[in-house]
Amino acid sequence: MERLDEKDIEVLKLLQTNCKMTAKEIAKKIGSPITTVYAKIKRMEELEIIKHYKAILDSKKLDKGTTAFLLVSFAYRPGGREKPLSQRDIAKQISAFPEVQEVHVVTGDWDILIKIKADHVDTLGKFVMDKLRMVEGIEKTLSCIVYETVKETTDIID
């Protein structure tokens, strides 16, 4: 990975807090010329250190207040299948569902971890029964419904 200097880190901290900040505003806060800040941002975009700029939405205000984490295990050779299923391919299939926010291939007793936000527990149940469990090879699921979120962030640098 390309080496980041102290000013790069300062720029990233500010952008992850408010990606609508202009190069001029950032330059003023970190004490660098606007052209330097602009060049740093462009370089980090090209290196895909900065992957996207997105608004973080309030899921409750958009009627998606139910958060759940789903653990999934699957059979590599369901029904005596000759060619084994790929854990990555299953994860990609799951990630295509619009309800799914995150999909992680994990270690341990489970194979995949999924994060979903829905309008209601019933919607979550329908997703698990009517979509997720219909994916070839999925053997079992475990749903963990969130009662309260204490911290949820996209920040990486503190």
Please give the residue range of the domain that contains residue 73.
Answer: 66-145
Asked whether residue 121 is assigned to any structural domain, the reply reads yes
Question: Quick one: pLDDT at residue 91?
Answer: 96
- Tell me the per-residue pLDDT of 86-110, one tens digit each, with 9 for 90 and over: 999 999 999 999 999 999 999 999 9
One domain, residues 141 and 72: yes
pTM: 0.86
Q: Which band of pLDDT confidence, cut at 50, 70 and 90, is reported for residue 1?
A: low
Q: Which band of pLDDT confidence, cut at 50, 70 and 90, is reported for residue 80?
A: confident
Asked whether residue 98 is assigned to any structural domain, the reply reads yes
One domain, residues 83 and 129: yes
Question: Quick one: pLDDT at residue 81?
Answer: 78
Q: Encode burial over 47-64: b for 16+ CB neighbours within 10 A, e otherwise.
A: eeebeeeeeeeebeeeeb
One domain, residues 40 and 70: no
Higher pLDDT, 76 or 54: 54
One domain, residues 103 and 71: yes
Query: Residue 100's domain is classified under what CATH number?
Result: 3.30.70.920
User: Alpha-carbon distance 147 to 115, whole Å?
Assistant: 14
Is a pLDDT exceeding 80 seen at residue 2?
Answer: no
User: Alpha-carbon distance 24 to 2, whole Å?
Assistant: 24
Question: Quick one: pLDDT at residue 83?
Answer: 86
Query: Residue 21's domain is classified under what CATH number?
Result: 1.10.10
What are the beta bridge partners of residue 69?
115, 144
Match 């973080």 to its residue by tokens: 56
